[in-house]
Amino acid sequence: MSQLSTAALAQVADYFKVLSELSRLQVLCALKSGSKNVSEVMEITGLGQANVSKHLKILAQAGIVLRHPKGVSAYYTIADPLIFDLCELVCSRLETRLQEQSQQLQQLDMLRQP
């Protein structure tokens, strides 16, 4: 990444900004099992229609999901399934960090015991 221009780094930052919203991550998780319309995403996530539509639009503009009109509905799919590898990498790293912090707290607790 040290070779990337400022403009390229700005695009990377924008991509991560899109992924930094909890509701958008919920929408992505709902789409992991396949193509869905807004109503199906609402049912899975518990989010309202306006909220789901807004986040799907942002995800589509970022190229993370694809929109496919079908009759009176539109269906959304994941544009690149590698997005879930990225999420898995982050989750794995967070899990490791939490385990390390837990071990440190246990060690501190043992030091305080008489």
Phi, psi for residue 36 in degrees, rounded to 5: -145, 155
DSSP, collapsed to helix, strand or coil, labels residue 93 as helix
Contact present, 67 and 60 (Cβ < 8 Å):
yes
Fold classification of 1-79 (topology level): Arc Repressor Mutant, subunit A (1.10.10)
Q: What is the pLDDT of residues 39-80, one digit of tens each?
A: 999 999 999 999 999 999 999 999 999 999 999 999 999 999
Residue 3 — pLDDT band, cuts 50, 70, 90?
A: confident
Q: Please tell me which residue, 77 or 112, carries the higher pLDDT value.
A: 77
Domain spans of the chain? 1-79, 81-114
Q: What is the pLDDT of residues 19-41, one digit of tens each?
A: 999 999 999 999 999 999 999 99
**Chain-centre distance of CA 58, in angstroms?**
12
User: What strands lie across the sheet with 36-37, from one edge to the other?
Assistant: 36-37, 73-78, 65-70
> Which is nearest to 83 in space by CA: 39, 24, 11?
24
**pLDDT the model gives residue 76:** 98
pTM: 0.81
